[in-house]
Amino acid sequence: MKLLFVILSILLIGRVNAQDDQLTRILFILDASNSMNARWGKQTRIEAAKELLAETVDKLDGVPNLEMGLRVYGHQSPITATFQDCNDTKLEVPFGTSNISAISHKISTIKAKGTTPIARSLEAAADDFPDNNSRNVIILITDGLEACDNDPCVVAKKLKDKGVNVTPFVIGLGMDLSYLEKFNCIGTYMDAETKESFTKVLETVVQKALVNTTVQINLNDIHSKPTETDVTMFLYKAGTKELKYTFTHTLNRYSNPDTLILDPTLNYDLVVNTTPRVEKKNIEIKPNMHNTIEVDCPQGYIQFRFKNANRPYQIESRVMRKGDGKTLNTQKVGTSDKYLVGTYDVEILTLPRLNYTTYVEQNGVTYIDIEAPGYMKYSAGNPIVGQIFTQVNDGSWEWVCNLADGYKSGDFQLQPGSYRIVYRPKKLKSSTYTILKDFRITSNKTITLQL
């Protein structure tokens, strides 16, 4: 069984009016069952759990209005082929304001040996808190599911029926997702594939317990549903360029926006880095509650395709908002990229340039198809100067590009069509030496001109 860290937070006993100076009590419950002796990278599970827990406790030293306690299970009675002690759970360090050294010492002495009585530990933990006048939090660190006859889901329901509200966070490291689904009856969970990622998640959960303020950012589609995701978000201190937070927007397994922790003492300017980007100014975060920030970010795709290419041509395009010449994005023909719903001007950097106006629909793919280019090579006996023109529908000629001044040869990648090269030998100083040569370009074909 791979390592699983389950964070059960927040255990709010009774109804408490949250205040900035309210006392918070965090009870850490550590799994010391025999399975914690299995290897996890360069350590065993119990070694990694003890190390991370000790570091977390140490970082909380000096935090005002905070008390901590430690309960352990599976550390007193060894499990055998015929016996498991389902009552092996104990409050090792009661709550206190000066007990960090006691918690750290106890953590260092723990040996993993027994079974996994999660339900009984949760039920007993409800009585570990001295009173109902604080924000009471449980953080449970374990590597597996219930091993005894009790059902944590039933215990959670009983606690809620008694007025004890349990909001859990489950962090699974490399776990089979179907295994993690076992915790649905308790609450939400998060993934962490590495020890480093677990450290960050544990820090986030502790912050949630202390700040008691959470935020989700809804990136809404055209139907006002928060379905858009996978884009970078910047949160600046409002009215400044002081960047406070950077997140990649994420939807959880239930397709809900991820929960974030922001400092509620600040107002924020939000930048969502869609194409084009979306901004929301002076956002207020209300403390001691869950905040939802709504941002309209409906998106679809533009995909450029060759109709008939027989080789991987490298051609760029330029995408702009309709009527605005500012480049939003450059995109290679043959690729797809995401844009906000709306109308765009597109310039494909072929020779000659191709221009389109197109509309991006919600979740749709707008295809822009172009013909594959051909090649023109030229050579002359002497250096020349000149230009290339193409004949358009009304029969007139439009400039395409200049020849390299004073060279005897060159090559161009051109779109299919009729062309004329106008040139003269550079050393001849009279317009009467102007020469015209017509040619035609076909997709995927190369022609050579002798000038």
pLDDT of 334-372, one tens digit each? 999 999 999 999 999 999 999 999 999 999 999 999 999
In this structure, of 7-16, 24-33, 126-135, the range with the lowest mean pLDDT score is 7-16
In this structure, of 127-136, 227-236, 423-432, the range with the lowest mean pLDDT score is 127-136
Whether 214-296 and 4-210 are alike in CATH topology: the answer is: no
Q: Which residue has the higher pLDDT, 179 or 389?
A: 389
Contacts of 358 (CB under 8 A, 6+ apart): 302, 343, 344, 346, 366, 368
Token pair 């997709």: residue: 443
Contact 330, 314 (CB under 8 A): no
pLDDT band, very low/low/confident/very high, at 283 (cuts 50, 70, 90): very high
Question: Helices 152-161 and 118-125: crossing angle, nearest 10°?
Answer: 20
What DSSP letter does each residue of 277-313 carry, written as one string?
Answer: -EEEEEEEPPTTSEEEEEEE--EEEEEEEESS-SS--
* Per-residue confidence (pLDDT) for residue 164, from 0 to 100: 56
Burial class of residue 145 (count of CB atoms within 10 Å of its CB; 0-12, 13-18, 19+): middle
The radius of gyration of the chain's CA atoms, rounded to the nearest angstrom, is 33
* Per-residue confidence (pLDDT) for residue 160, from 0 to 100: 67
* Per-residue confidence (pLDDT) for residue 181, from 0 to 100: 61
Task: Round to whole Å and give the CA distance between 429 and 317.
Answer: 39
State the DSSP code for 119.
H
Question: Helices 100-109 and 45-59: crossing angle, nearest 10°?
Answer: 170
Domain 4-210 falls under CATH 3.40.50.410 = yes
CA distances from 126 to 139, 170, 247, 260 (A): 12, 19, 35, 27
**Fold topology of 214-296:** Immunoglobulin-like (2.60.40)
Question: Residue 54 phi/psi, 5° resolution?
Answer: -60, -40
Which tokens go with 397? 């000629």
In this structure, of 7-16, 77-86, 224-233, the range with the lowest mean pLDDT score is 7-16
* Per-residue confidence (pLDDT) for residue 335, from 0 to 100: 96
Question: Residue 293 phi/psi, 5° resolution?
Answer: -105, 120
* Per-residue confidence (pLDDT) for residue 3, from 0 to 100: 42
Q: Give yes or no for residue 129 having a pLDDT over 80.
A: yes
- Homologous superfamily in CATH for domain 299-370: Carboxypeptidase-like, regulatory domain (2.60.40.1120)
pLDDT band, very low/low/confident/very high, at 162 (cuts 50, 70, 90): low
* Per-residue confidence (pLDDT) for residue 191, from 0 to 100: 63
Mean pLDDT of 253-266: 88
In this structure, of 112-116, 140-144, 286-290, the range with the lowest mean pLDDT score is 140-144
Domain boundaries, the chain: 4-210, 214-296, 299-370, 374-450
Token pair 């003890």: residue: 50
Count of Cβ atoms closer than 10 Å to residue 439 Cβ: 15
Q: Which of 76-80, 202-206, 284-288, 300-304 has the highest mean pLDDT?
A: 300-304
| Domain boundaries 374-450, corresponding CATH code | 2.60.40.180
Q: Collapsing DSSP states into helix, strand and coil, what is residue 22?
A: coil
Mean pLDDT of 290-294: 96
* Per-residue confidence (pLDDT) for residue 403, from 0 to 100: 97
CA 90 to chain centre: 39
* Per-residue confidence (pLDDT) for residue 85, from 0 to 100: 93
* Per-residue confidence (pLDDT) for residue 18, from 0 to 100: 40
What are the beta bridge partners of residue 378?
A: 410, 449
Which tokens go with 405? 């001044």
Read off the pTM: 0.73
